[in-house]
Amino acid sequence: QVQLVESGGGLVQAGGSLRLSCAASLRPFNSYAMGWFRQAPGKEREFVTTISRSGERTYYAASVKGRFSISRDSAKNTVYLQMNSLKPEDTAVYYCAADDRRLLGSNTYSISGNDYDYWGQGTQVTVSS
């Protein structure tokens, strides 16, 4: 059974930081590129960041580049999202997702949610002004 469980969300003041975690029961974990997406009220789900199977490559949406950082720990089957300099417009439900890329290169990834195979239930991040 595949499960992705996000944690670490909460309420933070603008300019503050949060670190989200995603514990993934994926085997083998390194067969999957991992990504973070978010959905604000009344908005479509949008891409935030992704990390390749190997962890060698990352990619960020322009709106978060320089402020957010994604990482993965293969020993813990966990992916992290460090969020700094948070803005009110970052307020959203954040979702962890896994993309099975066994037939693709270890340094590849996708920014399209349609390519991801498993999704967590999400964790709320609220940034107050």
Q: Over 90: is that where the pLDDT of 106 sits?
A: no
Q: Which distant-in-sequence residues (6+ apart) come within 8 Å of 58 by Cβ?
A: 49, 50, 51, 52, 70
Read off the pLDDT of each residue in 108-121 and give the average, rounded to a whole number: 94
The tokens of 87 are what?
């803005």
Q: Which of 129, 98, 93, 128 is nearest to 113 (CA)?
A: 98
Q: What is the pLDDT of residue 1?
A: 79
Token digits of residue 33: 């590129």
Kindly indicate the confidence band of residue 110, based on its pLDDT and cuts at 50, 70 and 90.
Answer: very high
* Angstrom distance (rounded) from CA 106 to CA 116: 15
Task: Check pLDDT > 90 for residue 102.
Answer: no
